[in-house]
């Protein structure tokens, strides 16, 4: 998920986002990485969800804090089997 913050990060609003991510983990979303970045996007969140609808729940849960672009991906090894 490519993320643009809606406001400047503070301890308060990043704390709220952390709570949302913890709740998502309890619902079966596996957070693999969360990175602050330079450039067009402010953050990159790498996560696994059981289904695409569950990935959409992540975007909806974070909507108050960020705008996002979610990409569906599969490992290269699995993609090669599709050829």
The residue segments making up the domain with residue 7 are 2-81
Query: Which of 15 and 36 is assigned the larger pLDDT?
Result: 36
Report pLDDT for 45: 94
Q: Report the CATH number that the domain containing residue 73 is assigned in CATH.
A: 3.30.70
> What pTM does this model have?
0.83
Report pLDDT for 21: 87
Number of domains within the chain: 1
Predicted confidence (pLDDT) per residue in 37-77, tens digit: 999 999 999 999 999 899 998 899 889 889 999 998 999 99
Q: Report CA-CA distances (Å) from 50 to 6, 36, 56.
A: 28, 25, 11
* Cα R_g (the chain), whole angstroms: 14
Question: Mean pLDDT over residues 18-30, rounded?
Answer: 90
């Amino acid at each position: 998920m490519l993320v643009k913050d809606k406001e400047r990060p503070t301890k308060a609003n990043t704390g709220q986002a952390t709570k949302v991510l913890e709740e998502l983990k309890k619902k079966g979303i596996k957070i693999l990485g969360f990175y602050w970045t330079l450039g067009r996007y402010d953050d990159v969140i790498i996560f696994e969800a059981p289904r695409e609808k569950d990935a959409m729940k992540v975007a909806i849960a974070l909507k108050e804090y960020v705008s996002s672009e979610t990409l569906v991906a599969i490992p290269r090894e699995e993609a090669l089997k599709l050829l």
